[in-house]
Structure 1
Amino acid sequence: MNWKAKAVLYKNIPRIAVCFEKNTALIARIKTFEDARWSASKRFWHLPDTEANRLHFKVPLAHTLLPNQEGIASITVFKNHLSSKRYSPNTIAAYCDALKSFLTFFNTKSVNDVTNEDVILFNNEFLLKNKLSASYQNQIVNAIKLYFNIINNTTIDIDKVHRPKREKKLPNVLSKNEIKAILTAHSNLKHKTMLSLIYSCGLRRSELLSLKPSDIDSKRGVVIIRQSKGKKDRIVPLSLKILEMLREYYMSYKPKTWLFEGQTKNTKYDERSLSNVLKQALTKSNINKPVSLHWLRHSYATHLLESGTDLRYIQELLGHNSSKTTEIYTHVSTKNIQQIKSPFDDL
């Protein structure tokens, strides 16, 4: 196996980075390791920094990059607890990584001796010094509160573990002309259909790739989104225009297990490949904004609002738990703002 491996801090979490030239067999092999992930920005695969992985990839042992034995045992307890409550695998991985980062910082201290002052120290000396985001800090807080509630730690007051001040960022929205340019940029039918379905139904990337042919209910005119974020099912309307595109796509590709499959039959289309499909569309349509797939979902919601759709229906279509999450689109809708006349025009 022709690879290079080293210990790294990936998003300030101890990981083992593994680099090798693109090879189908090697990719399939590294995917067999638990929690193996690909970093598109760093261009390497990375795995948990465990003693077993260090030995396998011949990376020198360095226990200072890990929690102490008590901390490692605590993470196992935490993981088992989350699993028993049926948290999603992604949530379990995120929370365990967050707790591991926190316990690694205090690997010379017993878990039972951790105090509220330690949380503040961690925020200042680790999160802020490394210029980590408020969203990551909030994830750490979620993990800390949940974990210390489980073990009934008496030295830390969970209610006094504060969250970072929430950033008030507006969602990124494209104009209808920009959307049209992106969706018509590809001549490849599969690529065009995937991007069009994301926008026409306001789907998340994972929701699109988890669709099965049977989830397209043409008789009722809906798409069934199963067990999405928060393990919820929902339905969204299926436009006649996208239905015709889907029928043409189905006749050409004849997918079996998943609606959009990769080069190997019965396997989901790759997330990175889907992101590349969007990048190619942006290049072809000469759009120089840093557009992500989620921008299509934001644009769908905003365009619905601007066309007069009630905010309550948009909340249902997007699968939001709280109406406050959906209300953010009122701040980017230009329908009413464009009717306001600037006093500059009267000068």
Structure 2
Amino acid sequence: MKKAEAMQRLSECLRLQRYSRNTIKVYSEWLDRYINFLVGCHAETIEEKMGQFLTRIVTQDHVSASTQKQALCAIIYFYKRVLGMEIGDISFLRSKRPVRLPEVFSRQEVWRVLDRLDGEGWLWGAIMYGCGLRLEECCSLRIKDVDIDRRLIIVRQGKGNKDRVVPLPTLLIEPLQKQIRKLEELHARYAAARVPVSLPDKLDKKYPNAPYSWEWFWLFPAAGPCVDPKWEGKLYHVHNTAVQKRVRRAVLAARIPKKAGCHTFRHSFATHWLENAEGNHEIALKRLQELLGHKDVKPTMVYLHLLPKLDNVASPLDCRKAA
């Protein structure tokens, strides 16, 4: 099988199973690197070839443990799902996964950053911090996903292509109402000019009027429709990088000495939510897992390590006695 055909079949299989665009892009990149590696590889079996490749990206490219695992998943998916081949035991040098705690804002730091954002920028930060949304989930919200009467935000097609519901903070109600009122005129102009918004799963073919309807309009639309003919002049949501740059500028302006960005709001939401939770931590973790959209409770448990510990034993530094 030629390289172009292999890449095409992988992409088609991933799309058929409704994998996200980012996953398709990453898996395709790893398959491309793996095929290029096979040109100079002299191993006999598939398992040996995979083992050598996975070892090489650690020893020569110095990738992290999670990146190596990502490469492993991409290659196994290609062999099992695309080629229909079973893979035996693979022997390779595994990169060690270091124990890292996420960077978290203090409550005061959150407001120092938000105070340096305005308009849509403030809404982006407030939604990510107040609801625990990922960057992509925040950018891709539509009008129909915000239920102000029930005080809910519905996250559609989150990580793992899963939907979930999160509570809407009271402080966000008035700014969101203002944002929605501002979008009414913009939507009317685009609808009159027959500029469609992009829809998932080819819904525009099934419902031809849906791309021009109010409920499908973006809560945070891009500055204008896409000019690339490949995207058929559709209107997309604000680009992730635009949000990241604006938040990063606010962090620097607030003079916060942390490696912080958009995802720090989500980490801060989880940590502060646990601090506010009362009762059994086991029950609180289960609820937080649902709010964050985690498949397993293990990634949620890391936030327990970030909670302030109550310890009655004083530090030796605080026990200095007067001479």
Give the ranges of 4+ consecutive aligned residues of structure 1 lying more than 4 Å apart after TM superposition.
108-111, 158-163, 337-340
Structure 2: distance between partners of 1:104 and 1:337 = 54
- In structure 2, what is the equivalent of residue 341 of structure 1? 314
TM-score (norm 2): 0.77
The answer to whether 1:127 aligns with 2:100 is: no
Is 1:292 matched with 2:261?
Answer: yes
- Cα separation, partners in 2 of 1:178 and 1:191, compared to 1, 3 Å: same
Q: Does 1:207 align with 2:167?
A: no
Shift of 1:153: 4.1
For structure 2, the residue ranges without an aligned partner over 5 or more in a row are 188-216, 226-234, 279-283
What do you get for the CA RMSD once the two structures are aligned? 2.5
1:191 to 95, 98, 121: 121
Question: Does residue 100 in structure 1 map to residue 32 in structure 2?
Answer: yes
Kept in 1, the 8 Å contact 2:157–2:163? The answer is yes
Q: 1:230 to 1:339 in 2, by over 3 A?
A: farther
Encode CA deviations 1:83-136: one digit per residue, 9 max, x unaligned: 22222222122112112211211125699x543332332233343212222222
1:319-330 equivalent positions in 2, closer than 5 A: 319-330=293-304
- Where 1:224 maps in the other structure, the secondary structure is strand
Q: 1:130 & 1:163 partners in 2: Cα distance? A: 13
Q: Is contact 2:146-2:154 (8 Å) kept?
A: yes
1:315 aligns with 2:289: yes
Does the aligned pair in 2 maintain the 1:116–1:161 contact within 8 Å? no
Count of paired positions: 275
Distance 1:86 1:161, change over 3 A: farther
* Structure having the larger proportion of residues in strand: 1
Residues 169-212 of structure 1 show CA distances to partners (whole Å, capped at 9, x for unaligned) of: 111111000001011112x3221111111111111010011101
Q: 1:79 to 1:252 in 2, by over 3 A?
A: closer
User: Equivalent residue for 1:117?
Assistant: 48
In the alignment, structure 1 segments of 5+ residues that lack a partner are 1-68
- Would you say the 8 A contact 2:51–2:91 is kept in 1? no
Answer 1 or 2: higher relative contact order, Cα 8 Å, separation at least 6.
Answer: 2
Query: In structure 2, the residue corresponding to 1:235 is in which secondary structure?
Result: strand
* CA distance 1:158–1:345, change in 2 (3 Å): same
3-state SS of 1:147 partner: helix
| Structure showing the higher helix proportion among its residues | 2
Percentage of identical aligned residues? 30
Quote the Cα distance in structure 2 between the aligned partners of 1:81 and 1:110.
29
1:88 to 16, 20, 24: 20
- Structure 1 length-normalised TM: 0.72
Change (3 A) 1:138 1:193: same
